[in-house]
């Protein structure tokens, strides 16, 4: 696939078209320039999918909206991604993934009960990127097998809420969800305990009476309790686990618990993962960076992503058939950003 990308100050739209090279290509256009808009329209005419994430109304003002491009390419799959979606009273709001984590209530639940809401890392952005890949593939499948051209209105806030079904259902049946930190509504013990090393931690969960009995054989002072009794005795159990873990390094605690059949894991640091024999055996790391998370019979090809705009001239020549003179004119006009 050719990935042909154009921007207006920031990365904003991606066009996907068939090409014999079967490679990713990156081009940059400054859509403030009329010449660049003409190039974008010409690229759309040869493409299968357009994905844009401008604020609502921008692509229409540029003359690159779905209806305008339909005249150029009636088979074009047009996908619009925005924070709040293209309809509704807040459709024109400009959003950022981390702010949507607050707007959706995710930050309010992703914390301990006695702590302030926690934004954490940018979860919404990469998750939405993955979902956009799914909907693009679904749209291509639909066009091939059922016919018809897809127009997709993708909402980041709705994608965020899609991952929060459980608390949303709870709130509708009269049980407003509250932050639980490391606790569980089903199991006790369930959490993370500090070990002897510097920032060393062990995570433990006891899902059944079998594991509870095994834990009692390791840690003194844990009486025979069923699941409901363990839920009521969480404070006492936490205290016993804290005393036991405090005098052991996390790796030792993990080995003891796993040998007894108790689900446990020491907190991993980045350097631990880089040295992981399992990940090494799967050839996951590539020059110290994460590689592809799958192995497939058709193999895989990896390499550096193209620099922004690195293939502008090649794509315009190969896909649109522009001459070197015309490409140089576009460059001089500032159309390439």
Over residues 76-99, the mean pLDDT reads 94
Q: Which of the residue ranges 212-216, 286-290, 312-316 has the most confident prediction, judged by mean pLDDT? A: 212-216
**Partners of 17 in the beta sheet?**
2
**Partners of 290 in the beta sheet?**
285
Interval 240-259: pLDDT, tens = 999 999 999 999 999 999 99
Residues of the chain with CATH 3.30.1540.10: 190-274
Q: Does domain 2-164+305-333 have CATH number 3.30.930.10?
A: no
Interval 65-81: pLDDT, tens = 999 999 999 999 999 99
- Please state the pTM of the whole predicted model: 0.82
Residue 8, pLDDT > 70, answer no
Q: What is the pLDDT of residue 27?
A: 87
d(CA 14, CA 77): 11
Give the confidence band of 291 by pLDDT, cuts at 50, 70, 90: confident
Query: For a pLDDT cut of 70, what percent of the chain falls above it?
Result: 93
Residue with tokens 């690229």: 43
Interval 132-176: pLDDT, tens = 999 999 999 999 999 888 899 999 999 999 999 888 888 888 878
Give the confidence band of 6 by pLDDT, cuts at 50, 70, 90: very low
DSSP-H helix ranges across 73-123: 97-103, 106-109
Residue 13 near residue 5 (C-beta atoms within 8 A) = yes
What mean pLDDT is reported for the chain? 88
Q: CA nearest 216: which of 245, 257, 255?
A: 257
d(CA 138, CA 120): 31
Out of 82-86, 101-105, 292-296, least confident range: 292-296
DSSP-H helix ranges across the chain: 34-45, 58-61, 66-72, 97-103, 106-109, 124-145, 156-162, 165-172, 209-218, 227-232, 234-246, 250-259, 270-274, 277-281, 312-318, 324-333
Residues of the chain with CATH 3.40.50.10540: 2-164+305-333
* Residue count of the chain: 337
Per DSSP, the three-state class of 50 is strand
d(CA 66, CA 143): 16
Residue 7, pLDDT > 80, answer no
According to DSSP, residue 14 is labeled E
d(CA 204, CA 211): 11
Per DSSP, the three-state class of 79 is strand
Name the architecture of domain 190-274.
Answer: 2-Layer Sandwich (3.30)
């Amino acid at each position: 696939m050719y990935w042909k990308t154009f921007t207006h100050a920031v990365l904003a739209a991606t066009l996907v078209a068939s090409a014999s090279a079967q490679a990713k290509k990156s081009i940059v256009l400054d859509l403030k320039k009329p010449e660049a808009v003409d190039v974008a329209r010409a690229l759309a005419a040869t493409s299968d999918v357009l994905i844009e994430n401008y604020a609502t109304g921008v692509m229409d003002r540029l003359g690159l909206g779905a209806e305008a491009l339909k005249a150029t390419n009636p088979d074009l799959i047009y996908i619009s991604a925005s924070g709040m979606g293209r309809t509704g009273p807040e459709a024109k709001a400009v959003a950022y993934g981390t702010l949507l984590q607050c707007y959706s209530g995710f930050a309010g639940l992703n914390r301990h009960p006695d702590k302030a809401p926690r934004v954490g890392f940018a979860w919404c952005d990469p998750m939405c990127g993955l979902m956009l890949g799914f909907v693009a593939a679904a749209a291509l499948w639909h066009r091939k097998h059922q016919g018809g051209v897809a127009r997709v209105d993708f909402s980041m806030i709705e994608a965020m809420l899609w991952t929060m079904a459980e608390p949303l259902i709870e709130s509708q049946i009269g049980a407003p969800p509250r932050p639980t930190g490391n606790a569980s509504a089903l199991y006790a013990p369930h959490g993370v305990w500090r070990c002897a090393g510097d920032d060393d931690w062990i995570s433990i969960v006891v899902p059944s009476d079998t594991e509870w009995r095994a834990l009692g054989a390791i840690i003194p002072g844990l009486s025979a309790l069923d699941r409901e009794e363990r839920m009521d005795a969480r404070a006492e159990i936490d205290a016993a686990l804290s005393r036991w873990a405090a005098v052991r390094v996390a790796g030792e605690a993990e080995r003891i618990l796993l040998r007894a059949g108790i689900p446990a894991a020491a907190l991993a640091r980045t350097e631990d993962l880089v040295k992981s024999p399992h990940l090494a055996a799967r050839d996951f790391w590539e020059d110290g960076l994460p590689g592809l998370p799958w192995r497939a019979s058709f193999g895989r090809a990896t390499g550096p992503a193209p620099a922004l705009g690195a293939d502008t001239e090649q794509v315009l020549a190969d896909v649109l058939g522009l001459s070197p003179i015309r490409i140089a004119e576009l460059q001089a006009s500032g159309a390439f950003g």
